[in-house]
Chains A and B, each alone.
Chain A
Amino acid sequence: MGRYILRRLGFYLIAAWASLTLNFVIPRLAPGDPAAAMFARFEGKVQPEAMGALKAAFGFTDAPLHAQYLTYLKHLAQGDLGMSYAYFPSRVTEVIGTGLMWTVGLAGVAVIISFVVGSFLGVLAAWNRGGWLDSGLAPALSFLGAFPYFWLAMLALYLFGFVLGWFPLRHAYGHDMEPGLSLAFAADVARHAVLPASSIVVATLGGWMLGMRNTMVATLGTDSIRLAHARGLPPRQVMLRYAARNALLPNITSFGMAVGFVLSGSLLTEMVFSYPGTGYLLILAVRNQDYPLMQGLFLAITLAVLAANFAVDLICLWLDPRTRAHA
């Protein structure tokens, strides 16, 4: 068991190194010159003679790639992600810091709610096959999930924010609020999170529900469940302890992926609801060829994906006795 965990850990370390290297290589393969893109932002307000000096200030080097790679690794090891070009001269860590908490909070909570509620609904739907949950809600949710997310979010914003005025139209908290550990602030944050979070939940709930329902149906047909019934165990225990626990495994794996992509995936939510997160930073970084910021964000996403997958491995180990036997 300990050896199994160590082996997985080793695998994740190698994966982390590989993705760090890709992080370094991919932006440099992209066409375009970051200094030129930077200069273009001034649209003629800066005399072109200043371009050489701009390049020097941003520290663009013509050093060979392997030298740049070593510097990159060295700085990374020191936790130094460099300065953002787009937000020059602010540090990448500071720029990412402005939004990381909000993105993780909003999208993280939304993914967890969606996963828990969706999986639970899937279990119920499979247990009562052909009931209203199975034949009504499941198709309805899949239908909603098939809409472009952007459109769904705009619709929610327009209807519940603009027309009915139930929820605020933008931002993570009221701009006259003092952020802190007060109840009023928490309520304000919750109120601001309702629309963006529920739009994510509505868009993704169907997927979790359907996935869970299908594996659950397959599990219910197995001999072990028939045996459990035959032993006269209470139905609720059979449903949750025997069937759902086994059926949950594939969903857990996808949950690991979903959690990992929380950082990048909430881009559209942030655009529609002006939520101060990291998704929009990624777009901006790509547009300005802001390598340091791009690398910083990819690093955060990579680490999140790897950490979530490692956690999933551990959960599967606990849920599924078979993995323990192999270990």
Chain B
Amino acid sequence: MRFARALLPLVLLVACSSEPRPRPPGVLFVSVEQQSAWVRNFNPLFAGAGARWPTRAGVYECMEIFSSAQARWVPWLATGHAWSEDQRTLRFTLRDGVLWSDGKPFSADDVVFTFGLLKQHPALDAGGVWRFLADVKAEGRDTVVFSFSRVYLPGFSDLAHQIVVPRHIWKDVADPVTFTNPEPVATGPFTQVTLFRNQVYELGRNPHYWMPGKPKVSALRFLAFPTNDQANMALVEGEVDWAGNFVPAVDRTFVSRDPAHHARWFPLYGSTVFLYPNTTRPPLDDVRVRKALSMALDRDQLVEVAMYGYTRPADATALNDAYSGWKDPEVAKDAWTHYDLDAANKLLDEAGLTRGPDGLRRLKEGQPFALDLEVVSGWSDWVRAGQVVGRDLRKLGITVQLKTYEFGTWFTRLQKGEFQMAISWSLDGPTPYNFYKWLLSPRTVRPVGEVAAANWHRMGDAQADELLVRFERAGTPEEQHALMSQVQQRFSATAPAIPLFPNPSWGESNSLRFTGFPTEQNPYARLAPHAEPDSLLVLTELSPRER
């Protein structure tokens, strides 16, 4: 007991020294990655590197930025670009007076060097630009010329979004793939690693940033939160100024605590979430069956139950709101994504899947129509979505068993086509080209058992592919939109996969100390810090209230 009596004052002393810590003025606290401890890595080139945020849009920069919120390209390290007459040559004009953070001038040589690295190390070429490029050359200090091996207009976004690294530093890097780049030299607004410890790191301003007077934020600070709960608690308490967390019941738990300053904006710019049927397995190869499954889904309830009402049901184009300018309103009205049990039952009857005396659907050979639906265990929104899907399909007399797998297992089964139905994401890009290519093009179909990076449902449509190939060469916006409308018609006609809802892009802000966050009224960029390269637009726009 004497021991306890000796310990008590010590405990009290330690406990009473708990006063709120003063926050350094002008330092923006950001919560993006969930980690228990930080590892020092600022490699911007290798997409597989676990580089600390915002290495790819904040420390380093690209030539132009596509803002999906504004649906336009924003000039950045390049002030503009021009295509040649035959669309085989693209010239970027670089901005004058840009310096690297060590004071050396930025020039066309750096861009040419960077693309040379991608050619030398295919692992760095995440966009696969050397599939369509023939050559990259500098014309003087401020012009870069890209020669294409074939006409491929969608390649523009991969070139414009490519991170540029300084030649004078990276020419001495032995292996740029495994380089952790602990002291980055870059052109971005925040380049100085002023603090790096296992639970906190801080990035200070680039002393030579090319935008006069910017950034106004003096430093970015990142605390390690291993779980969403911890990150959300810090956000609610006001310790974090900018976050991209999934917050349950966000309006009640976060916004209402300080409506003047706490804001959230969840625009539907994330990839569309699909119910993927494995079309190599009858009867899922029958478009009537796929459409029937789709019509049995009560998507209004699905988004309410699975997504807290943060999103809306998908329509027959499956496009998210970032592509609203591309959407064909006629296709969007197509009925197969609307809840209609009678029509769904009729389609299944037509397809020869009649109900037995027990009310269960039978396949043509007589065995009951049963499906496994695979989701990732622990991804609670998708697990709930899977439960709603299962319940809805049972109304058609189809037995659905929801199966949850650990992520790695789930993804391997999905990629190899060893599933019956699965819920998963879709691919993105500045135009819907990539999105539809990976849903519809026969060029993306791999045999079952072989790993497919997407097109997990394994279906291709030759007509859609022809349109997509024409889109690669379509120079005018009118032509592009006309082609994309036809692609949407093909998507709606063939229903290769069943769209459920567009994913929100999570973003929360606390404007008590900083102003200038994007909002629904001022949508100059996405609020989600994950949404690279939008974070560059936000980081250069924010300014502290205090000084």
Binary per-residue interface labels of chain A (44-64) against chain B in the complex, 1 for a CB within 8 Å, 0 otherwise: 111111111110111000000
A289 and B18 in contact (CB under 8 A), knowing A48-B453, A51-B453, A87-B39? no
**Which of B328-336, B404-412, B510-518 is the contact stretch?**
B404-412
**Closest residue of B by beta carbon distance from A38:** B48
Which of chain B's residues 38-58 have a Cβ closer than 8 Å to chain A?
38-41, 43, 46-50
**Closest residue of B by beta carbon distance from A286:** B406
Size class of the contact patch on chain A: 35 or more
**Closest residue of A by beta carbon distance from B4:** A117
Partner of B224, one of A30, A53, A171: A171
Does A44 lie within 8 Å of B46, measured CB to CB?
no
Does B43 lie within 8 Å of A170, measured CB to CB?
no
Does A194 lie within 8 Å of B15, measured CB to CB?
yes
Does B408 lie within 8 Å of A88, measured CB to CB?
no
A47 and B15 in contact (CB under 8 A), knowing A87-B39, A90-B41? no
User: Which residues of chain B are within 8 angstroms of A53 by Cβ–Cβ distance?
Assistant: 121-125
Assembled-state Cα–Cα distance A44/B198 (Å):
29
Size class of the contact patch on chain B: 35 or more
Assembled-state Cα–Cα distance A96/B440 (Å):
44
Shortest Cβ distance from residue A141 to the other chain B in the assembled complex, whole angstroms: 15
Does A56 lie within 8 Å of B271, measured CB to CB?
no
Binary per-residue interface labels of chain A (203-223) against chain B in the complex, 1 for a CB within 8 Å, 0 otherwise: 000000000000000000000
Does B178 lie within 8 Å of A98, measured CB to CB?
no
Does B48 lie within 8 Å of A88, measured CB to CB?
yes
Assembled-state Cα–Cα distance A52/B224 (Å):
32
A94 and B39 in contact (CB under 8 A), knowing A87-B50, A89-B179, A166-B18? yes
**Which of A16-24, A231-239, A241-249, A276-284 is the contact stretch?**
A276-284
Q: Is A33 an interface residue (CB 8 A)?
A: yes
Does A57 lie within 8 Å of B15, measured CB to CB?
no
Q: Is A37 an interface residue (CB 8 A)?
A: yes
Q: Is A99 an interface residue (CB 8 A)?
A: yes
Partner of B198, one of A37, A43, A57, A98: A98
Does B18 lie within 8 Å of A87, measured CB to CB?
no
User: Which residues of chain A are within 8 angstroms of B49 by Cβ–Cβ distance?
Assistant: 88-89
**Which of A6-14, A172-180, A296-304, A305-313 is the contact stretch?**
A172-180
Assembled-state Cα–Cα distance A270/B225 (Å):
10
Q: Is A31 an interface residue (CB 8 A)?
A: yes
Which of chain B's residues 1-44 have a Cβ closer than 8 Å to chain A?
11, 14-18, 21, 24, 36-41, 43
Assembled-state Cα–Cα distance A260/B223 (Å):
30
Q: Is B79 an interface residue (CB 8 A)?
A: no
Does A36 lie within 8 Å of B412, measured CB to CB?
yes
Partner of A49, one of B14, B38, B43, B131: B131
Partner of A175, one of B17, B18, B43, B223: B223
Binary per-residue interface labels of chain B (448-491) against chain A in the complex, 1 for a CB within 8 Å, 0 otherwise: 00011110000000000000000000000000000000000000
Does A88 lie within 8 Å of B225, measured CB to CB?
no
Shortest Cβ distance from residue A107 to the other chain B in the assembled complex, whole angstroms: 14
Q: Is A256 an interface residue (CB 8 A)?
A: no
Most chain B CB within a 10 A radius of its CB, from A98, A173, A179, A272? A98
Q: Is B427 an interface residue (CB 8 A)?
A: yes
Q: Is B363 an interface residue (CB 8 A)?
A: no
Partner of B226, one of A32, A50, A271: A271
Binary per-residue interface labels of chain A (282-294) against chain B in the complex, 1 for a CB within 8 Å, 0 otherwise: 0010111100000
Binary per-residue interface labels of chain A (110-150) against chain B in the complex, 1 for a CB within 8 Å, 0 otherwise: 00000000000000000000000000000000000000000
Q: Is A86 an interface residue (CB 8 A)?
A: yes
**Closest residue of B by beta carbon distance from A32:** B408
Does B199 lie within 8 Å of A171, measured CB to CB?
yes
User: Which residues of chain A are within 8 angstroms of B444 by Cβ–Cβ distance?
Assistant: 48
User: Which residues of chain A are within 8 angstroms of B113 by Cβ–Cβ distance?
Assistant: none
Assembled-state Cα–Cα distance A45/B125 (Å):
12
Does B408 lie within 8 Å of A194, measured CB to CB?
no
Does A287 lie within 8 Å of B199, measured CB to CB?
no
Assembled-state Cα–Cα distance A271/B230 (Å):
8
User: Which residues of chain A are within 8 angstroms of B48 by Cβ–Cβ distance?
Assistant: 38, 54, 57-58, 88
Assembled-state Cα–Cα distance A224/B223 (Å):
59
User: Which residues of chain A are within 8 angstroms of B438 by Cβ–Cβ distance?
Assistant: 48
Partner of B18, one of A31, A36, A99, A167: A167
Does B50 lie within 8 Å of A46, measured CB to CB?
no
Shortest Cβ distance from residue B220 to the other chain A in the assembled complex, whole angstroms: 13
Shortest Cβ distance from residue A278 to the other chain B in the assembled complex, whole angstroms: 8
Does A277 lie within 8 Å of B411, measured CB to CB?
no
Assembled-state Cα–Cα distance A51/B451 (Å):
10
**Closest residue of B by beta carbon distance from A50:** B126
Shortest Cβ distance from residue A40 to the other chain B in the assembled complex, whole angstroms: 5
Assembled-state Cα–Cα distance A171/B224 (Å):
8
Does A99 lie within 8 Å of B46, measured CB to CB?
no
User: Which residues of chain A are within 8 angstroms of B39 by Cβ–Cβ distance?
Assistant: 87, 90, 94-95, 98
Assembled-state Cα–Cα distance A113/B167 (Å):
56
Does A194 lie within 8 Å of B11, measured CB to CB?
yes
Q: Is A187 an interface residue (CB 8 A)?
A: yes
Does A174 lie within 8 Å of B123, measured CB to CB?
no
Q: Is A255 an interface residue (CB 8 A)?
A: no
Does B230 lie within 8 Å of A170, measured CB to CB?
yes
Partner of A176, one of B21, B50, B124, B452: B21
Partner of B221, one of A171, A175, A284, A288: A175
**Closest residue of B by beta carbon distance from A56:** B123
Partner of B233, one of A34, A169, A173, A194: A169
Assembled-state Cα–Cα distance A289/B409 (Å):
10
Q: Is A202 an interface residue (CB 8 A)?
A: no
Does B38 lie within 8 Å of A98, measured CB to CB?
yes
Does B224 lie within 8 Å of A36, measured CB to CB?
no
Which of chain B's residues 211-228 have a Cβ closer than 8 Å to chain A?
221, 223-227
Does A43 lie within 8 Å of B41, measured CB to CB?
no
Does B425 lie within 8 Å of A43, measured CB to CB?
yes
Does A175 lie within 8 Å of B199, measured CB to CB?
yes
Q: Is A323 an interface residue (CB 8 A)?
A: no
List the 6 closest A-B pairs by CB distance, nearest first.
A48-B453, A32-B408, A280-B36, A57-B123, A53-B122, A44-B427
14 pairs of residues in contact across A and B, judged by CB atoms under 8 Å: A32-B409, A37-B407, A43-B425, A44-B425, A44-B426, A53-B124, A88-B49, A94-B39, A175-B223, A187-B14, A187-B17, A271-B36, A271-B226, A272-B227
Contacts A50-B47, A194-B14, A284-B36 aside, 12 further interface pairs with beta carbons under 8 A come to A31-B412, A45-B428, A49-B128, A49-B131, A53-B123, A53-B125, A88-B50, A89-B49, A170-B225, A191-B15, A194-B15, A271-B226
